[in-house]
């Protein structure tokens, strides 16, 4: 599903955000990406959805390679991905329902399929009762669940989550983790950046640790 070969990402001529990263993540895996602030976690995720490109080396995601992908193919790559950002990036002047429906409209989903799909995802994240709410009327945890619903609405094969529990209390964090675990059990590959040590301890998943742009640890699940 994901392969990185000798990937460097260099900013400003000599700043290595990533250095000689080699990784392989298989279909259906759940993987944590961890490391201190500035270690390169977000940069690595940006390379995977091809927001950024490696300075050296190659990134492969599904059928696409950073060395050969055309600009016009990037939207097709992203249609297979569910991307969850730490800052929610919901449209503030649209309701919860409209935010989710929009994600389907932009990929030309046939009209009759939109409503049932939105309602299904809202039910999945436990927010059916909030469909008419505007984002500012929701708690942080609820907003994050809307962004998860949005990320999952097109049935992604790969979910990229950048600190999805970053601003949440332990209970909301648990809800988010349950949702990501369910998605993974349904077959999606999940790569989640976090430095939440509680979560890393509590969930027994493969853990890749970055330190100053290098992979310094790649720990398999303990059973
Ligand atoms: N667009 C950019 N231009 C210049 N430097 C950048 C850019 N993006 C990231 N960097 C640098 O690359 C390094 C890695 O940043 P990155 O955002 O990937 O870290 P991170 O592990 O996600 O940190 P955090 O836990 O704080 O989110 C940092 O030193 C950062 O300053
Ligand atoms: Mg980051």
- Say what the pLDDT of residue 87 is: 74
Q: Read off the tokens for 8.
A: 């460097």
Q: Express the helix, strand and coil content of the chain in percent, nearest 5 each.
A: 35, 25, 35
- Say what the pLDDT of residue 188 is: 96
Strand partners, 7: 21
Q: Which residues surround ligand 2, an ion (CB under 5 A)?
A: 41-42
12 lines ligand 1 (CB under 6 A): yes
Contact 216, 209 (CB under 8 A): yes
Residues of the chain with pLDDT under 70: 88, 223
Q: Nearest ligand to the C-alpha of residue 162?
A: 2
- Say what the pLDDT of residue 223 is: 65
Contacts of 169 (CB under 8 A, 6+ apart): 141
- Say what the pLDDT of residue 221 is: 85
- Say what the pLDDT of residue 205 is: 96
Q: Is the dihedral of CA 16, 22, 26, 28 positive or negative?
A: negative
Q: How does pLDDT run across 142-199, given as a tens digit for each residue?
A: 998 999 999 999 889 999 999 998 878 888 889 889 999 999 999 999 999 999 999 9
- Say what the pLDDT of residue 171 is: 87
- Say what the pLDDT of residue 7 is: 98
Q: Read off the tokens for 214.
A: 């290098």
Pick the CATH number of 2-80+156-219 from 3.40.50.300, 3.40.50.620, 1.10.10.10, 3.10.129.10: 3.40.50.300
40 lines ligand 1 (CB under 6 A): yes
- Say what the pLDDT of residue 172 is: 85
37 lines ligand 1 (CB under 6 A): yes
Q: Compute the distance between CA of residue 172 and CA of residue 126 in angstroms, rounded to an integer.
A: 12
2-11 and 56-61 as β-strands: parallel, antiparallel, unpaired?
antiparallel
- Say what the pLDDT of residue 41 is: 97
Ligand 2 centroid from CA 135, angstroms: 23
């Amino acid at each position: 599903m994901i392969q990185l070969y000798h990937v460097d990402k260099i900013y400003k001529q000599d700043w290595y955000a990533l250095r000689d990263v080699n990784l392989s993540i298989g279909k259906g895996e759940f993987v944590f990406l961890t490391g201190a602030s500035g270690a390169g976690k977000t940069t690595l995720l940006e390379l995977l959805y091809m927001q950024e490109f490696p300075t050296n080396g190659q990134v492969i995601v599904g059928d696409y390679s950073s060395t050969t992908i055309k600009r016009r193919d990037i939207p097709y790559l992203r249609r297979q991905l569910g991307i969850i950002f730490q800052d929610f990036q919901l449209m503030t002047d649209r309701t919860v329902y409209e935010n989710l429906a929009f994600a389907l409209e932009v990929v030309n989903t046939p009209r009759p399929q939109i409503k049932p799909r939105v309602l299904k995802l809202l039910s999945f994240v436990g927010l059916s009762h909030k469909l008419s709410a505007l984002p500012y009327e929701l708690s942080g945890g609820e907003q994050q669940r809307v962004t998860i619903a949005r990320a999952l609405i097109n049935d992604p094969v790969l979910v990229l989550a950048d600190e999805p529990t970053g601003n949440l209390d332990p209970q909301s964090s648990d809800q988010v983790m349950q949702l990501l675990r369910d998605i993974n059990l349904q077959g999606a590959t999940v790569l989640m950046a976090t430095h939440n040590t509680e979560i890393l301890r509590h969930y027994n998943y493969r853990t890749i640790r970055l330190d100053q742009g290098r992979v310094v640890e790649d720990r398999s699940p303990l059973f």
